[in-house]
Structures are given as C-alpha cells and as structure tokens.
Chains A and B, each alone.
Chain A
C-alpha cells in the first residue's frame, strides 16, 4: 500500500473527502459573512447563532408541524432571513455611521441572547434530527464509504456558492450591489434604493447561514452551542480569504476544510487551531487576505 508521510494513501484520500465536506460548510457560512461585510461593513458575529437557528427551525418544523427536510431547506432560511431583516431594520441600521466595533458588539450580544433562549427551551445536550430517508446509505468509493448525505451537502453547498457568485458578479442586481458597496451616496443618486438593498443583503446573508444550519442538522446534534464553536473558525476563513471577497470566502473555505482534514490525521490535537495558525501567517504575509484588495 502506498503511503505519504507514513499515512496510507486511502486514509489520506478519505480525510481529503471529509475535509471537502467540512470545507463546504465553511464556504457556505463564510460566503454569507463576506457578503454582509462587503456591503454593510458589519462584522456579523451573530452568524453562528443564525446557523444554529436554521438547524433548530428545521427541527421544530419536523417535530411540531411535520415539515419535511426538503421543505425546511426553503422555509427555515426564509423564516430566519426574515428575522435577520427585522434585526437590520430595528438595530443594525442605526450603527452604520459608527465604528465597526459597535456592529460587532451588537451582533455578538444578539448571538448570546439567541443561544440563551434556545438553551432555556431545548437544553444544552441538543436534539437529534434524522437523515431524510431518500439520502440514507453510502457510496463505496474504494478507499472509504461516503454517506450519501455528506455527498449531498457538498453538492448543495457548491451549487449555492456558485449561484451566489454568479448573482453578484454577473447580474444587474449584483451590479447594483457592487456599486452600492463602492459608493453608496452616488448609487442612491442614480435612483437606486440603497437602504432596501442593504436590508435584503443582510437578510440573504443570514438566510445562507440558516441554510447551512439545515444542511448540518442531520449530521451533528442540533444544539444551542453548535454555532458559537463554528463562528470563530468561519471568521478566520473570511480573514484569510480577504474581508468582503466573495470568491476568497468560497476558495479559502474549501481549502481550509481540506487542510483541517489532513491535520486530523497527522496531529489531531491541533485540528482546532490549525486554521488560526494559517490566519496568523496570512496576516503577516498579506494583511488584506489572499483575495483581498488593498
């Protein structure tokens, strides 16, 4: 059997595959963060909480209203997205003129409140969400058995990432978004409703986080803490990719997922810090991130 650094090749391939799955989650979450930062200049610390709420929305839908997984994929992001819009209208928009620190503190506080509420309602050990029947089983890839559901996650996440990128880079709506990012007053002067644009962007970014939550629900325990452990990693991903860069968020999400996967084979104890080590190196070498513009 061939081996790389003393690790058998099939094991490496297996870990790379799993890294790709995790990378898809990172990409989907960091994409929403990058979009929000790009247009609003808000460091959205509540992103992990919205991810958690998306997963809980799916769980609540299934348990209490019999909403199946496929409907949840639409309904959960929609309802959490509306919540995001409300938060933008009621709180966030008052902070745009201030230092970004205020937005960060507000969203961080919102995250703590949502986590506390869900802990009070559902407890800390979380809830189980079953894998939808049509996605059970596994593909035998030779070097590992890949559960069908994980393959679906990669496919769904990459499709959504590609669609978002196309929307922003290739459509008229995307052009307006980019214009508002560059110069909001001038864009407004051309008759484009910038506040509406900003509000919908925040809602859409939040909905992306909730979508990632629904995708994650069948594979990990749906618990109030699921977002807080992820959000710091995802922030590191965004910083590495370059704050506000869409393509940077997607690419660095996938690549860091792969690197983290390899770390789990070589030195598992370091698997939760490898992303931050890379972030430190990137910040020294390219302070604006790999894809950032300076």
Chain B
C-alpha cells in the first residue's frame, strides 16, 4: 500500500489550508482562531466563528489603542499537533496577542501548553473538556462557553430528576467523550441512578446500529449520547430508525443548534440538551442573531456567540489597561464582571473558568415551532454556580491561591 501512504501524505498537505493574512508585528493587535474548518465540527463555529470575531472587532471600533485589530484563522483538522504548531508559529512570527480555540478538546489541551509557554491569552471555546480548567489549566487560559461538568449538571441531572435513572452511554472515543461520560456518570450516581453500560465509538463513525443494539439489549431507560457534531447526528438518527427513541429517553449531552437544524425537528423533537446561549432568548440575543443571519444565512450557535463575547471582552480589557501585555490583560479579565449579549454577571474563576448562567432546553415538536429556527423551549435556567460548581477545580494549581 505504498500508493495509500503517498496519498495520505498528500492529503495532509492539501488539507492543510490556512487562510492567513500577512501580519506584521507591532502596529496591530492580532487575534488567532484555530478551529476545525473542514471536518465533523466545521458547522459548530467554522467560518461563522470567524465572522463572529469580526463582528466583535467592528463593535470595538476596528482599532484599539490606535492599533488595527486583525484576525488570523487556521484549520487544525482535529489534529493536536497541527493546532499547537500553528499557535507556536503565529506567536513567533506574527505578533500574536490572543488565541481563540475552536472545537476538539484534544487539540485545545495541546494548544493550552503553547499558551503557557508563549504567554498568550487563550480562550478555548468550542472544546468542552473540563480538564482545561483542571489538570490542564494554565494562567493564560479562559474556558469560556461551556464545559463537560455544566453539560452533565444540566442535561443528566434534569433527566435523572424525572425518574429515569438507568443509563447506557455511547461515547466518542477521545478526551472530550470520556470526560463527558465521566461527568454525566457522576451526576447519575449522585442522584441514585445507575449506569448499565457504555460503548466507545471511534470519532467519525457513521453507522451506530451495532452500538444502538447493545444499548437496547442493556434494558437502560436513558440513552446518553456523549458525542458531538456529526457523530451526535448519526447516532440519534440511528436511534430513531431502530425505534430506540420510543423505548428509551435519548439524552444529548452536547448538541448545538447546527445539529438540531441538520437533523430536523422531526428526528430531534423532545430531546433535552444544555446550552449557554440561544438566539431566541431575549431582545439582545435576537438582535445579534439577526446581524449574524444577514452575513451567514443561519442563526448562530452558542459557541459562535461566545466567540463574539470573548473577543469583545478581550478588547475591552486591552482598552482598560491600555496595553496588550498578557499578565495585565488576564488580571483585568479576572477582575471584571462579564456583561454583554452572551451572558450577564459572568465572572472568571481562579482556575480560568468563566462561570455563567446555563439553560436546559427541550427541542420543540414540529407543531410547536412557529417560525424558522424556532427550535428550543427553556426547561430550566441554571445559575452559574449550579452549572459549574461553587469551588475552582482542585486539580488546577491556580485554584489554591
């Protein structure tokens, strides 16, 4: 299979497209976005994430401290080494001031190490792994939109409290999936439930029927889907086809608006999920949704909204301290309350976690949905401490201070 290895090497080369603008260090503030732009998670932020950053830059005035704010963006292809090396390259050569990390916990963990080494503020947003503010925390990381703990405290807790206590997990076989399954298992056990079994499916599996059959045979009441993006869509679609959605309660431990849109309400109706933000929450969120829709022709996901918020808060902090020096900006960010269209009274904990309100949602039925993108109804509003816990993660050395 010499041909195959040649082709694979070539694929890696061709796939490595980087849309970077020439950047000269000094007269500019450089924001980097390293995300999955072409794989299973490309619809969660992707180009829409870049657009959200640009919207925040425009709202901050385009220039801050007399310097033009520019965006670099790269596709990490869900490979930790690509994400980390791009981060390092920009830090060394392009005068990088801040990085937003897109999907994939594995990649964000690798990038966090670079952030610590290069002393560049780093906002993991698309990645969910709670270890980013635990064992993998750094003084320069701010985990911004959601994490596996909050997802479990939202969705898993809501379902267990309805009396559905026996669970079976289908888990994406990498850092994010296993952390999500662990967090959900803790919630289920703490509330008197039990876990009857779990299977780890490789990332990018398209046919889940075997795993669904095992879930069915377990006799569990709840089908916990500890996966995301296309993996989530394919597993839920299979569950619907094999009739599992009638006998078991599917729990979407992480589902984005883009997933529900692509699955359609017919398949996704009734599903419980946890989100940090929804375009139809209030006047401010609808206004942002409208602006975003005009550019991207779709409503923003919670993480795209978080991309906007993180960029805006970073630039505000730079304005306040009058410098892009990482230590000063990080200190300022950890001092202020975060108030914008993404969240109210959010704050950044010692371990780097942004504590903010989360929402448990249920997906509407096709009959309940009155207009395009009318997908969720609020089941429960979770204050930040209930979602993320009251104490910083003890596994993070910064928590001790």
Residues A220 and B213 in contact, CB atoms below 8 Å apart? no
Residues B42 and A112 in contact, CB atoms below 8 Å apart? no
Please report the C-alpha to C-alpha distance between residue A103 and residue B349 in the assembled complex, in whole angstroms: 56
Residues A108 and B11 in contact, CB atoms below 8 Å apart? yes
Task: Give the number of chain B interface residues (Cβ < 8 Å).
Answer: 49
Q: Is B400 an interface residue (CB 8 A)?
A: no
Q: Shortest Cβ distance from B128 into chain A, in angstroms? A: 17
| Given the contacts A45-B7, A147-B242, A230-B206, A119 and B38 also touching, CB distance less than 8 Å | yes
Closest A residue to B262 using CB positions: A125
Q: Shortest Cβ distance from A19 into chain B, in angstroms? A: 8
Q: Is B39 an interface residue (CB 8 A)?
A: yes
Q: Is B320 an interface residue (CB 8 A)?
A: no
Describe B's contact surface by its main secondary structure: helix
Closest A residue to B231 using CB positions: A221
| B14, B46, B217 pick with most chain A CB within 10 angstroms | B217
Q: Is B398 an interface residue (CB 8 A)?
A: no
Closest B residue to A136 using CB positions: B241
Q: Shortest Cβ distance from B184 into chain A, in angstroms? A: 18
Task: Pick the interface stretch among B232-240, B272-280, B326-334.
Answer: B232-240
Task: Pick the interface stretch among A168-176, A201-209, A266-274.
Answer: A266-274
Q: Is A21 an interface residue (CB 8 A)?
A: yes
Please report the C-alpha to C-alpha distance between residue A166 and residue B191 in the assembled complex, in whole angstroms: 61
Q: Is B322 an interface residue (CB 8 A)?
A: no
**Contact flags B194-211 to A (C-beta < 8 A → 1, else 0):** 000001111011110111
**Contact flags B45-65 to A (C-beta < 8 A → 1, else 0):** 010000000000000000000
Residues B243 and A145 in contact, CB atoms below 8 Å apart? yes
Q: Shortest Cβ distance from A209 into chain B, in angstroms? A: 15
Q: Which residues of A contact B259 (CB under 8 A)?
A: 125
| Given the contacts A145-B243, A219-B238, A220-B207, A268 and B213 also touching, CB distance less than 8 Å | no
Contact of B43 among A43, A123, A283 (CB under 8 A): A123
| Given the contacts A112-B14, A124-B46, A223 and B242 also touching, CB distance less than 8 Å | no
Q: Which residues of A contact B199 (CB under 8 A)?
A: 264, 268
Residues B200 and A225 in contact, CB atoms below 8 Å apart? no
Q: Is B85 an interface residue (CB 8 A)?
A: no
**Contact flags B1-33 to A (C-beta < 8 A → 1, else 0):** 101101100110011000000000000000000
Closest B residue to A99 using CB positions: B3
Q: Shortest Cβ distance from B13 into chain A, in angstroms? A: 11
Q: Is A18 an interface residue (CB 8 A)?
A: yes
Residues B213 and A128 in contact, CB atoms below 8 Å apart? no
| B1, B7, B38, B202 pick with most chain A CB within 10 angstroms | B7
Q: Given A105-B7, A124-B40, A269-B200, list of 8 further CB < 8 A pairs?
A: A19-B210, A22-B207, A109-B14, A116-B38, A147-B243, A232-B4, A264-B210, A272-B202
Interface set of B (CB-CB < 8 Å, partner A): 1, 3-4, 6-7, 10-11, 14-15, 38-44, 46, 173, 199-202, 204-207, 209-211, 213-214, 217, 229-230, 233-234, 237-238, 241-243, 258-259, 261-264, 266-267
Interface set of A (CB-CB < 8 Å, partner B): 8, 10-11, 14-15, 18-19, 21-22, 43, 45, 100-101, 104-105, 108-109, 112, 116, 119, 123-128, 130-131, 138, 144-145, 147, 149-150, 219-221, 223, 225-226, 229-230, 232, 235, 239, 261, 264-265, 268-269, 271-272, 279, 283
Q: 5 tightest A-B contacts by CB? A: A124-B42, A264-B210, A125-B43, A125-B262, A272-B202
